[in-house]
Amino acid sequence: MKNFLLFLSIISLAACKSDPKKEITTEKETKLSLMAGNDTLIYPEEKNFKSIRQITFGGDNAEAYWSFDDKQLVFQSNNTNWGVNCDQMFLMNVNESFENKKPPMISTGMGRTTCAYFLPDNKHFVYGSTHLADKECPEVPLRKNGNYVWPVYDSFDIFVSDLEGNITAQLTTEPGYDAEATVSPKGDKIVFTSTRSGDLELYTMNLDGTDVKQITDELGYDGGAFFSPDGTQLIFRASRPKTPEAIKKYKDLLADGLVEPTDMELFICNADGSELRQLTFLGNANWSPFFHPSGKKILFSSNFEAEKGFPFNLYMIDVDGKNLERVTHSETFDAFPVFSNDGKHLIFSSNRNNGGGRDTNLFIAEWQE
């Protein structure tokens, strides 16, 4: 699956509570806001954040994606205070926050959902859901033979819904896992991950589900793909087991509907799969990539500097693999960076300012170079 939120139910991530409504707009104010621990919204080193605003205040909230007109966002949450038992999809206007109110749920409320993304009309979105197989939330295995794993439910299919939660189309009907759908900024194609070939590969299709084309074909988990701003390239995360032992382990886990997402690198290719190349060689988990508005850089999350598996921070790298730089300086978890279409704002998920618990919340930062 596209998200790492299950990871946060295994490791304890510490933070200290501060005023969630306070926006920090200058370096001086940022330094003054810091107290002992992780009780801040912006750290002094986070020079790309001109200001920041916290959106959610409880549960695990992630994968927030902008409408094409940048007026709304769709995101997934398992906040039990909102009446859900596993990830469902919610809608928000960009100026809203949800400390004392609940956003409208726009998925069915059945099964588990993942990876919603607006369509160009700003009135519909695509997302993955397991509800056709079971109305209840599926079980979530977290470990296999002592190792952290993700479930890859073969009951996931990709649907189109309006913003009132009414499903208007089913885009995939093949047996196996179909999910992680995102839409090209050109508004003509969807990229998604599927096991229809027997492995976790990338595919593209038209917005109506026609003209399905396989993009990747190398053994390993290919997922979390996003188009470049001009729609000509794809950036994604992938595992590439090479040794006989690693290959057997990967295949055995996949046969059980599982993957280990702890060893992944970023890959980039043209939208048709040509000129595929590995972008990062950092080790550990490099994932949730998204193109910088210029199309010349990639923002992503990684724990390659972490000895114990965390923290995860945001990094930026050129599309030729040069000029790696760290963007966030959290001691816990920052991931799922997504730029607005106008390039002025970045929404991401973080454990900062979560009161010392495990809640993962959404933050919108005003971006500056």
Q: The whole model's pTM is what?
A: 0.90
Q: Which two tokens stand for residue 128?
A: 């993955």
Whether residue 11 has pLDDT greater than 80? no
Phi, psi of 254 (to 5 degrees): -65, -35
Mean pLDDT computed over 17-23: 26
- What percent of the chain has a predicted confidence (pLDDT) above 90? 83
What confidence category does residue 118 fall into, taking pLDDT thresholds of 50, 70 and 90?
A: very high
> Are the CB atoms for 182 and 190 separated by under 8 Å?
yes
Mean pLDDT over each residue of the chain, to the nearest integer: 90
Owner of token pair 């950036």: 235
Sorted by where each begins, the domain ranges of the chain are 5-367
| Short-list 333, 319, 327, CA closest to 365 | 327
Mean pLDDT computed over 155-172: 98
What is the spatial distance between Cα 76 and Cα 62, in angstroms, rounded to a whole number?
6
CATH superfamily of the 5-367 domain:
TolB, C-terminal domain (2.120.10.30)
Predicted local distance difference test score (pLDDT) of residue 39: 53
Q: Which of 10-19, 109-118, 232-241, 283-292 has the lowest mean pLDDT?
A: 10-19
What confidence category does residue 252 fall into, taking pLDDT thresholds of 50, 70 and 90?
A: very high
Q: Which of 17-26, 211-220, 267-276 has the lowest mean pLDDT?
A: 17-26
Predicted local distance difference test score (pLDDT) of residue 2: 46
Radius of gyration of the chain (CA): 19
pLDDT digits (tens, 9 = 90+) for 312-334: 999 999 999 999 999 999 989 99
364 burial type by CB count under 10 A (0-12 exposed, 13-18 middle, 19+ buried): buried
What confidence category does residue 141 fall into, taking pLDDT thresholds of 50, 70 and 90?
A: confident
